[in-house]
Structure 1
Amino acid sequence: MSNDAPIPATPWPRALLFDLDGTLVDSVPDIADAINTVLVAEGFAALKVDDVRKMIGNGIQKLVERAFDASGKPLAGDELTAMTERMMEVYGKGLTVATTPMPGALSAAAWLHRRGHRLAVVTNKPEALSREIVDHFALDEMFTVVVGGDTCATRKPDPEMLFHACRELGVAPEDAILVGDSPADVNAALAGGFPSIAVRGGYTNIPVEELGADCVIDSLDDLAEALAHLPASVPSA
């Protein structure tokens, strides 16, 4: 990201709210390894990494539900809760073994931080696991707020997590935008009236151009140019 990339000469956007998986980091190798460990222990075949990629975006419980459903054993109730807890236990021991930053993520975060923008991670992954990943990649000084899937009463696509992040950052919602890669991200932004930028190469079953974001970029290397042309929008709540 170029340090002299153009950006509007206004305080907006004071804050940027980033999804984690598929936006800031490519975590699918470690997620796939964890869910496959659980599946194999239960007597099922391991899933392909590309298939697991399509299951990510609505939290670990939904991932477990989708993985077992794809293996021919739908889960619900106590069974789903137990397997979700097992998945979190396994995954928690290998959060950053093969996880890597997404293209442009580290330079974009550093550039935004230098310019004084306030940054938050807003992810459906549990907060403690998310903080460990953020810390591992030395993003904690730039991303001063981490909102996880268990931080609020609801998760994306409900917009409450975005409003909570704004409160924690000390900015008005109309001064923030969302950067994500999935339907859950963009739908949360749409529900709250936040402008959004969708990044290619993430975890979505829907073509990124059809998510409904205000702007689509190839990678976070293109974020500065996108911000320069994205008009401010006032959230609805």
Structure 2
Amino acid sequence: MSVTGKTGRKTGDKAMTGVSALLFDLDGTLVDSVPDIARAANLLLESEGFEPLGVDEVRAMIGHGIPKLVERVFIARGHSLDAEAHAAMTARMMGIYADNLTGLTVPLPGAMDVLEDSVRAGLKLAVVTNKPEAFSREILLHFGMDAHVAVVVGGDTCATRKPEPEMLLHAAAALGASADDAVMVGDSSADVASARAAGMRVIVVRGGYTTVPAEELGADLVIDGLPDLLALLDGQPALA
């Protein structure tokens, strides 16, 4: 198992004690949803006469919710949307993506195992994502993850989204946890920033949807994949 601390050095099973709840990001952490998101974004672009984007191009644009993604995909095609057009395109993107939530999306390696074993270890679980709550619930239901996740907080659940702290604090409170005993597990700068703002510890899973190297995001721990988190939870040597 490879675990990296704030300094960027390999730390082994670095202790992270007093944890009762895990808050998981969804896209890039539990599931790889880029193919479906890219498909929806390209259907929107093509309907407006623009050339489609590559999947990797869209991957680099994900973060901060669908409205921000819509803004970015049109800018990538040299077109800046005014407020009215942005609202209209965002609404259309929502409708297109609603019909393409799970066709190409897949769970990331170890996702189901880590959810099952976390619950078995007595931890309470939430998903905290900037994706709309209804979309998130449908994806979790499709893959059977909903059976293990007690709370789902989406980008439209609270008044603000990540990187603001409100969503994380709302999820922790719904689980009966505090900022001190909840840990955010994500893949991006928004996850780290929201955890820091909420006063929570944060673990970053390498390989997610970020253009910044995982070690530079400022997390408490960086792991190579969800199976590494599972190893930390095994008998709770580090998360106890």
TM-score normalized with structure 1 length = 0.91
Cα gap change, 1:230/1:81 in structure 2, threshold over 3 Å: closer, same or farther?
Answer: farther
Does residue 174 (structure 1) correspond to residue 180 (structure 2)? The answer is yes
Does residue 187 (structure 1) correspond to residue 193 (structure 2)? The answer is yes
Cα gap change, 1:181/1:9 in structure 2, threshold over 3 Å: closer, same or farther?
Answer: closer
Does residue 154 (structure 1) correspond to residue 160 (structure 2)? The answer is yes
Distance (Å, rounded) in 2 between the aligned partners of 1:62 and 1:8:
36
Does residue 135 (structure 1) correspond to residue 116 (structure 2)? The answer is no
Structure 1 match to 2:76: 70
Structure 1 match to 2:207: 201
Distance (Å, rounded) in 1 between the aligned partners of 2:16 and 2:96:
47
Shift of 1:226: 4.3
Does residue 14 (structure 1) correspond to residue 13 (structure 2)? The answer is no
Shift of 1:169: 0.8
Unaligned runs of 5+ in 1: 233-237
Shift of 1:76: 2.7
Q: Is the 8 Å Cα contact of residues 126 and 150 (structure 1) preserved in structure 2?
A: yes
Q: Is the 8 Å Cα contact of residues 215 and 230 (structure 1) preserved in structure 2?
A: no
Structure 1 match to 2:115: 109
Does residue 126 (structure 1) correspond to residue 112 (structure 2)? The answer is no
SS at match of 2:167: helix
Shift of 1:114: 1.0
RMSD: 2.0
Structure 1 residues 85-120: Cα deviation after superposition (integer angstroms, max 9, x where no partner): 100100000100010001111110111011111000
Unaligned runs of 5+ in 2: 2-12
Q: Is the 8 Å Cα contact of residues 197 and 214 (structure 1) preserved in structure 2?
A: yes
Shift of 1:31: 0.1
Which letter does structure 2 place at the counterpart of 1:219? Answer: G
Counting only pairs closer than 5 Å after superposition, residues 16-31 of structure 1 correspond to structure 2 as: 16-31=22-37
Cα gap change, 1:59/1:178 in structure 2, threshold over 3 Å: closer, same or farther?
Answer: same
Q: Is the 8 Å Cα contact of residues 156 and 184 (structure 1) preserved in structure 2?
A: yes
Name the % identity. 59
Cα gap change, 1:59/1:51 in structure 2, threshold over 3 Å: closer, same or farther?
Answer: same
Q: Is the 8 Å Cα contact of residues 215 and 226 (structure 1) preserved in structure 2?
A: no
Structure 2 match to 1:223: 229
SS at match of 1:150: coil
TM-score normalized with structure 2 length = 0.90
Structure 1 match to 2:219: 213
Structure 1 residues 164-194: Cα deviation after superposition (integer angstroms, max 9, x where no partner): 0011111122110000001100111111121
Does residue 92 (structure 1) correspond to residue 98 (structure 2)? The answer is yes
Structure 1 residues 54-94: Cα deviation after superposition (integer angstroms, max 9, x where no partner): 11111000000000001111113110010001001000001
SS at match of 1:152: coil
Aligned equivalent of 2:65, options 47, 59, 63: 59
Q: How many residues align?
A: 227
Distance (Å, rounded) in 2 between the aligned partners of 1:78 and 1:230:
50
SS at match of 1:17: strand
Shift of 1:141: 1.6
Structure 1 residues 195-215: Cα deviation after superposition (integer angstroms, max 9, x where no partner): 110001110011111000011
